[in-house]
Amino acid sequence: MGTKLNHESLAELREIAARYPQPRSGLLPMLHLVQSVEGRITPEGIEACADVLGISAAEVSGVATFYTMYKRKPVGDYHVGVCTNTLCAVMGGDEIFARLKDHLDVGNDETTADGKVTLEHLECNAACDYAPVMMVNWEFVDNQTPESAVQLVDDLRAGNEVRSTRGPRICTWREAARVLAGFPDGRADEGPGAGPASLVGLGIATERGWSAPDADRADRADGSTDHPVAEEPRQEAAATADAGTKEAEAAVVEKESPTTGTAAEKGDAR
Amino acid sequence: MSSAATGTTDTLTPVLTAGWADERSWTLDAYARRGGYAALDKAFAMGPDAVIEAVKDSGLRGRGGAGFPTGMKWSFIPQENPNPKYLVVNADESEPGTCKDIPLMMASPHTLVEGVILSSFAIRAHTAFIYIRGEVLHVIRRVQAAVAEAYAAGHLGRDIHGSGYDLDVVVHAGAGAYICGEETALLEGLEGRRGQPRLRPPFPAVAGLYASPTVINNVESISSVPSIIANGAEWFSSMGTEKSKGFGIFSLSGHVQRPGQYEAPLGITLRQLIDLAGGIRQKPDGQGHELKFWTPGGSSTPLLTAEHLDVPLDFEGVGAAGSMLGTRALQIFDETVCVVRAVLRWTEFYKHESCGKCTPCREGTWWLVQTLARLEKGQGSEADLDLLLDQCDNILGRSFCALGDGATSPISSSIKYFREEYLAHLTHGGCPFDPAASTAWADRTVGATA
């Protein structure tokens, strides 16, 4: 019954809204904050957001039900995700997920009886070069096997310290939600800059002495220079600048995640 | 050594990835050691229009998939419009197979922040947003910290470097929705609404965030800008191919010996990349597996096969081969993988992520799953292949945004190249493949995972 949202939380909700030119832009991080305090999206949390933003609870609810990271049921201390999108699934994610369901005796999006672990299968989490990938409270746990996955959840349930393979010591799900709400926890410096797979190409280039061309007067071609160059870049007709403006506008479809081009382009491609 | 003097470009050209192995690479100190933020003063001296011209001249095309010329996009911002201008960075990387922006922001968030400052200056924006998918906690920490460091060092805030230019940057965490990678759905999310795409026109350049002129660019596009300003447009366009200039991060995943990130000029081939990656994965006896199919730019780009190994990986080359360069997300599948299983799983993904706004995508992706799932179990008939293609026909070009279009890509391309394999499911009465053979541990720990 009783909400854990107190005056301090309400002040923080207002603080989030104030980061934006229009307060409603704060709603997504505000809902993350609700989860960090309440352990899920509660009716009280929805009301609080609605009050702060001056919109209806139905409007907030509509948003809270759209995004998959918002949970209506209590989540365990550790949200354990297994990527089962195609590449990770094929590389073993399906087997890992099946093993964990069996080991933890839970189904998808269910929490263990001790309230420690919530298991969920995930869509692609942008770490395909580390497949099969798992996430614990949205920290990367790379290159997993069924055995390592079982060990991982056992450690989490036993309260042993667990570290992300490319990140810090794993915090609780609620603590993670607070960072997502825009309240840093001071742990950005933990973990490596990059995992091994991220560095493969750079390693080969270093080994073979490959680099981007030297820029005129620039010492290094890594996107930097110690000597700011005063001369403006020479004007050169961009190869792509010949499209008419109107046509070009119609083609502004930079659709990063969902797909990569217009229907027309795809039609042409066939 | 660079081979610029000889007029050729090296096979790999680390620029964005160059500092990733540095000690505490994510910090301002490490970035400054490589000359970071030096491009700001140069840009301030050039003025906004010259920065736009430089990016136009460089030939940089959007690295988020569509490949639209970045400088041209910037020039669409109507400067006479009295509303504030906004820059929004699309850091919602979630196209299956795509995994370049996340390591970039983890290892070198300041490259992005410097790019944000230069790009905002060019379009005369005083507020910029970095919309990062919520499911990458440590990446969000690193970007938050980089922005805070940049403020403290005077690279952000009021009167940056004494130029009189002001800029504020807000790091915004998403909450789990693939559709928010679509730029207008992302704006909806950033306005605190359900992430459903908007009708265009008006385009965001005219009426984007808060109905104000807005540029939305991918992380890698924005991160390429500091190097263009520092080294010149000509330097950038000296790499790549005629219409696909510069370098890009190519992400190899799946059944290669060394999956990972390879930064190279556009136009490199998959054969070259697989060679650098040590080949297709090998069995313990040293016998090689074989390349069966691959995606050039994520699951929304039509599948290609071994016959396309020498296709130049630039916008034109991959287009001519019947697919799209997309995000250079090269997912490699060997002969142990059932293409029907792979395609069904992607299709389930599109069904799950369809935002529900338009009927062709919402209903269509549901029906695609029904039809495919039946085939995968060996329960359909050959006519179901035509049914699938018909369903694709009713989605492609008819859905509200490109999510629906993308959903049809793996299906139509897999039927084109692997029709027999679909039929084998019918004759076999189910999937003829052993899923255990495709796993990362299949060849190295036989029997150990039972």
In chain B the domains, ranked by start, together with CATH numbers, are 8-237 (3.40.50.11540), 247-334 (3.10.20.600), 339-436 (1.20.1440.230)
Candidate from A155-169, A225-239, B79-93 with smallest mean pLDDT: A225-239
**CB nearest A198 (choices: B90, B103, B235):** B103
B109-123 and B48-58 helices, crossing angle to 10°: 120
**Shortest alpha-carbon distance between residue B348 and chain A (Å):** 9
Tell me the H-state helices in chain A.
7-17, 27-38, 43-53, 57-64, 86-88, 94-104, 146-158, 173-180, 200-208, 245-250, 263-269
Contact (CB<8Å) A179/B140:
yes
Distance from C-alpha of B296 to C-alpha of B302, rounded to nearest angstrom: 8
**Shortest alpha-carbon distance between residue B437 and chain A (Å):** 9
**CB nearest B4 (choices: A214, A249, A266):** A214
pLDDT in tens, B292-350: 999 999 999 999 999 999 999 999 999 999 999 999 999 999 999 999 999 999 999 99
Neighboring chain A residues of B138 at a CB cutoff of 8 Å: 139-140, 164, 166-168, 188, 191
Q: By C-alpha distance, which of B194, B187, B189 is closest to B210?
A: B187
Question: Residue B288 — very low, low, confident or very high, per pLDDT cuts 50/70/90?
Answer: confident
Residues paired with B214 in a beta bridge: B86
Neighbouring C-beta atoms of residue B51, cutoff 10 Å: 26
DSSP state letters, A196-255 = TGGGHHHHHHHHHT--PPPPTT-S-SSS--SS---SPPPP---TTTTS-HHHHHHT---B
Whole-structure pTM value? 0.92
pLDDT in tens, B246-277: 999 999 999 999 999 999 999 999 999 999 99
Chain A residue with CA closest to B228: the answer is: A223
Contact (CB<8Å) B177/A28:
no
CA quadruple A69, A70, A71, A77: dihedral positive or negative?
Answer: positive
pLDDT of B123 above 80: yes
Q: Is A43 on the interface with B (CB under 8 A)?
A: no
**CB nearest B218 (choices: A222, A225, A256):** A256
pLDDT of A251 above 90: no
Q: By C-alpha distance, which of B301, B241, B237 is closest to B269?
A: B241
pLDDT computed for residue A3 by the predictor: 87
**Shortest alpha-carbon distance between residue A153 and chain B (Å):** 17
Distance from C-alpha of A193 to C-alpha of A207, rounded to nearest angstrom: 20
Residues B13 and A203 sit within 8 Å (Cβ to Cβ):
no
Bond prior to B284 in cis (omega within 30° of 0): no
Question: Residue B445 — very low, low, confident or very high, per pLDDT cuts 50/70/90?
Answer: low
Bond prior to B201 in cis (omega within 30° of 0): yes
Distance from C-alpha of B99 to C-alpha of A211, rounded to nearest angstrom: 22
pLDDT of B221 above 80: yes
SS3 A20: coil
Q: Is A162 on the interface with B (CB under 8 A)?
A: no
Question: Residue A215 — very low, low, confident or very high, per pLDDT cuts 50/70/90?
Answer: confident
* Residue percentage of chain A with pLDDT more than 90: 78
**CB nearest B324 (choices: A210, A235, A261):** A261
Long-range contacts of the stretch A243-247 (C-beta < 8 A, 24+): A243/B69, A243/B72, A245/B76
Distance from C-alpha of B109 to C-alpha of B28, rounded to nearest angstrom: 9
Residues A50 and B181 sit within 8 Å (Cβ to Cβ):
no
pLDDT computed for residue B285 by the predictor: 82
Contact (CB<8Å) A262/B93:
no
Contact (CB<8Å) B72/A176:
no
pLDDT computed for residue B444 by the predictor: 72
Neighbouring C-beta atoms of residue A61, cutoff 10 Å: 17
Contact (CB<8Å) B138/A91:
no
pLDDT computed for residue B448 by the predictor: 41
pLDDT in tens, B128-178: 999 999 999 999 999 999 999 999 999 999 999 999 999 999 999 999 999
Q: By C-alpha distance, which of B310, B324, B291, B316 is closest to B410?
A: B324
Residues A233 and B233 sit within 8 Å (Cβ to Cβ):
yes
Distance from C-alpha of A180 to C-alpha of A248, rounded to nearest angstrom: 36
Chain B interface mutation, best of A236, A256, A262, A270, highest count of B Cβ atoms under 10 Å: A256
Q: By C-alpha distance, which of B147, B123, B124, B116 is closest to B27?
A: B147
Q: Where in chain A is the domain with CATH 1.10.10?
A: 7-64
What average pLDDT does this structure show over A121-148? 98
pLDDT computed for residue A249 by the predictor: 39
Interface of A with B in 51-90 (CB under 8 A): 53, 62-63, 66-70, 81, 84-87, 89-90
Q: Identify the burial level of B359 via C-beta atoms within 10 angstroms of its C-beta, where 0-12 means exposed, 13-18 middle and 19 or more buried.
A: middle
- What backbone phi and psi angles, to 5 degrees, belong to A212? -70, 155
Chain A residue with CA closest to B146: the answer is: A188
**CB nearest A86 (choices: B136, B192, B346):** B346
Residues A40 and A109 sit within 8 Å (Cβ to Cβ):
no
pLDDT of A268 above 80: no
Contact (CB<8Å) B172/A68:
no
pLDDT of A264 above 90: no
Contact (CB<8Å) B403/A62:
no
pLDDT computed for residue B35 by the predictor: 96
**CA separation, residue B221 to residues B70, B101, B111, B218, B333 (Å):** 8, 10, 11, 5, 28
Residues paired with B363 in a beta bridge: none
**Shortest alpha-carbon distance between residue B214 and chain A (Å):** 12
Neighboring chain B residues of A213 at a CB cutoff of 8 Å: 2-4, 9, 13, 235, 238-239
What average pLDDT does this structure show over B373-381? 96
Q: Is A218 on the interface with B (CB under 8 A)?
A: yes
Interface of A with B in 97-126 (CB under 8 A): 122-126
**Shortest alpha-carbon distance between residue B429 and chain A (Å):** 21
Distance from C-alpha of A131 to C-alpha of B97, rounded to nearest angstrom: 10
pLDDT computed for residue B284 by the predictor: 80
Rounded to the nearest angstrom, the gap between the alpha carbon of residue B233 and the centroid of all alpha carbons in its chain is 23
The size of the A-B interface in CB pairs under 8 A is 542
Residues paired with B248 in a beta bridge: B264
Contact (CB<8Å) A255/B64:
yes
**CB nearest A253 (choices: B66, B264, B333):** B66
Distance from C-alpha of B17 to C-alpha of B23, rounded to nearest angstrom: 14
Contact (CB<8Å) B93/A229:
no
What average pLDDT does this structure show over A224-249? 37
Candidate from A105-109, B38-42, B351-355, B444-448 with smallest mean pLDDT: B444-448
pLDDT computed for residue A230 by the predictor: 37
- What backbone phi and psi angles, to 5 degrees, belong to B18? -60, -35
**CB nearest B34 (choices: A90, A193, A224):** A224
Rounded to the nearest angstrom, the gap between the alpha carbon of residue B391 and the centroid of all alpha carbons in its chain is 27
CATH classification for the domain delimited by A78-180, as one of 1.10.357.10, 3.40.50.300, 3.40.30.10, 3.40.640.10: 3.40.30.10
Query: Residue B195 corresponds to which tokens in the numbers above?
Result: 């992430």
Neighboring chain A residues of B331 at a CB cutoff of 8 Å: 86-87, 128
pLDDT of B5 above 50: no
- What backbone phi and psi angles, to 5 degrees, belong to B93? -55, 115
Residues A51 and B153 sit within 8 Å (Cβ to Cβ):
no
**CB nearest A92 (choices: B260, B331, B440):** B440
Class of domain A7-64: mainly alpha
Contact (CB<8Å) A176/B137:
yes
List the strands of the sheet with B127-132, edge to edge. B168-173, B127-132, B86-91, B214-218
pLDDT in tens, B42-80: 999 999 999 999 999 999 999 999 999 999 999 999 999
Q: Where in chain A is the domain with CATH 3.40.30.10?
A: 78-180
Q: What is the DSSP letter of B409?
A: H
**CB nearest B216 (choices: A89, A232, A254):** A254
Distance from C-alpha of B294 to C-alpha of B334, rounded to nearest angstrom: 9
pLDDT of B413 above 60: yes
pLDDT in tens, A89-134: 999 999 999 999 999 999 999 999 999 999 999 999 999 999 999 9
**Shortest alpha-carbon distance between residue A52 and chain B (Å):** 13
**Shortest alpha-carbon distance between residue B120 and chain A (Å):** 16
- What backbone phi and psi angles, to 5 degrees, belong to B337? -95, 130
CA quadruple B70, A234, B17, B30: dihedral positive or negative?
Answer: negative
Contact (CB<8Å) A166/B239:
no
DSSP state letters, B67-86 = --BHHHHHHTS-TT--SPPE
Distance from C-alpha of B340 to C-alpha of A192, rounded to nearest angstrom: 38
**CA separation, residue A128 to residues A86, A196, B19, B309 (Å):** 10, 13, 21, 21
Provide the pairing of β-strand B214-218 with B168-173: unpaired
**Cβ-Cβ contacts under 8 Å for B388 (sequence gap 6 or more):** B368, B371, B372, B375, B411, B415
Q: By C-alpha distance, which of B241, B238, B242, B264 is closest to B251?
A: B264
Neighboring chain A residues of B449 at a CB cutoff of 8 Å: 95, 145-147
pLDDT in tens, B331-345: 999 999 999 999 999
Neighboring chain B residues of A53 at a CB cutoff of 8 Å: 192
Q: By C-alpha distance, which of B113, B47, B120, B56 is closest to B85?
A: B120
Residue type at position B412: S
Instruction: Characterise A155 by phi-psi region: left (phi > 0), alpha (psi -120 to 50), beta (else).
Output: alpha
Contact (CB<8Å) A259/B402:
yes
Q: Is A169 on the interface with B (CB under 8 A)?
A: no
Residues B387 and B371 sit within 8 Å (Cβ to Cβ):
yes
Chain B residue with CA closest to A171: the answer is: B137
pLDDT in tens, A63-87: 999 999 999 999 999 999 999 999 9
Residue type at position B67: G
**CB nearest A205 (choices: B14, B36, B299):** B14
CA quadruple A100, A101, A104, A109: dihedral positive or negative?
Answer: positive
Chain B interface mutation, best of A22, A75, A86, A265, highest count of B Cβ atoms under 10 Å: A86
pLDDT computed for residue B443 by the predictor: 81
